[in-house]
A and B are shown apart, each in its own frame.
Chain A
Amino acid sequence: MVKLDRSQIRRYARQLLIPEIGGRGQEKLLEASVLVVGAGGLGSPVIQYLAAAGVGMIGIADGDEVDETNLQRQTIHAGNLGMNKAESAAQFVEKLNPDVKVEAYPFSVTVENARDLVRRYDIVVDCTDTFPARFLLNDACLLESTPLVHSAVLRFEGQIMTIIPHETACYRCFLPEAPPPGSVPTCREAGVIGVTTGFFGVLQANEVIKLIISKGELFTNKLLYVDLLHNDFNLIEISKHPSCPACGERRIKELRSEYYVETCRIETD
């Protein structure tokens, strides 16, 4: 078990005062490992707040490069135009908190590498931006029994849910398959504002911290859907469903590339 040194006691002083965290909680944070998939709008606050809180090991996977259109919402990439996002994010973390070991994976998560990456971490955070990537992470986390914190956004709207594999509802319990390509607008087409990704990314980081310290309540078996334009908050019940194509009675046994194209349907044999 890690023991806090003098400078750590100073660095984390404000959160050590919180009864639910304290010395033991801080040690748990320093011992924890979290994989953040996507270092974009959602990933920026997730990475920022987990690193600041002293999560000991953060993996960051992203195959994209920082471009100018990212900067109105992706707040951790200052001065790094053209750099790979995972590497740029890793630089940010190193500057912010030397307690954090950071591993950059400068590539996308795929059917081939997903389980292997997920297996190395205690918790996975879904900060991706496509349906196939989201279904892939859900299914990989089910197969590896790794908790997953999901969020997705558009314009001023977004949703968040936390998944404890085989115990609570999974992403496919909420959404068995993806809309046909083109039927739902993407952020690139319909837009998004930094406050939306910031709001949901911070909620994701909060879920991760509570998972690590085993305190409080999670967005499990429920999905929070918020419209920030009208301050409309909807907490929706989602139950783990026996007919879920991923975690139900006929649960998936492996990742197959045909599950992650177009509508991401799982055809059961």
Chain B
Amino acid sequence: MKVRLPASIYRDAEIEIDADEITVEELVKILSEKIGRDLRKLIIRNGDLSPFVNVFINGKNVRHEKGLKTIVKKGDEVSLVPAVAGG
């Protein structure tokens, strides 16, 4: 699975994660270890998906699926879309 991290979250990077089937929560943990920055603080709040970051799997918002428990499969494309407010 491929994870896109925009510059406003982490240096603009596309990161490949080798896993067959994991939850978003597990993905965030693996990703944090891989990039050496704890993304859990950003993405998880009170054990739930934080209300100000959106995680999309193949263009679908996991907030409207099973949140952190949503399954990511091999070959999926995950994008993290941060909130921006500039104008």
Q: Which residues of chain A have a CB within 8 Å of any CB of chain B? A: 38, 40-43, 126-131, 134, 151-159, 174-180, 183-187, 190, 192, 197, 223, 225, 227, 229-230, 232, 234-239, 241, 263, 265
Contact residues of B between 6 and 30, Cβ < 8 Å to A: 6-8, 12
Query: In the complex, how many angstroms separate the beta carbon of B34 from the nearest chain A beta carbon?
Result: 20
* Contact indicator A129/B85 (Cβ below 8 Å): yes
Q: Which of B42, B60, B63, B84 contacts A158 (CB 8 A)?
A: B84
Q: Which of A38, A131, A155 contacts B8 (CB 8 A)?
A: A155
Which residues of chain A come closer than 8 Å to B81, judged between CB atoms?
A: 159, 223, 225, 234, 236
Which residues of chain A come closer than 8 Å to B36, judged between CB atoms?
A: none
**C-alpha spacing A155/B12, complex, angstroms:** 12
* Contact indicator B51/A236 (Cβ below 8 Å): no
Query: In the complex, how many angstroms separate the beta carbon of B83 from the nearest chain A beta carbon?
Result: 5
* Contact indicator A227/B6 (Cβ below 8 Å): yes
* Contact indicator B83/A175 (Cβ below 8 Å): yes
* Contact indicator A236/B87 (Cβ below 8 Å): no
Q: Which of B56, B61, B82 contacts A184 (CB 8 A)?
A: B82
* Contact indicator A186/B51 (Cβ below 8 Å): no
* Contact indicator B60/A237 (Cβ below 8 Å): yes
Residue interface mask B75-87, A partner, CB < 8 A = 1: 0000101111111
Query: In the complex, how many angstroms separate the beta carbon of A36 from the nearest chain B beta carbon?
Result: 11
**C-alpha spacing A192/B82, complex, angstroms:** 16
**C-alpha spacing A154/B8, complex, angstroms:** 8
Which residues of chain B come closer than 8 Å to A156, judged between CB atoms?
A: 7
Is there a chain A Cβ closer than 8 Å to B70's Cβ?
no
Nearest to A179 among chain B residues (CB) is B52
* Contact indicator B83/A234 (Cβ below 8 Å): no
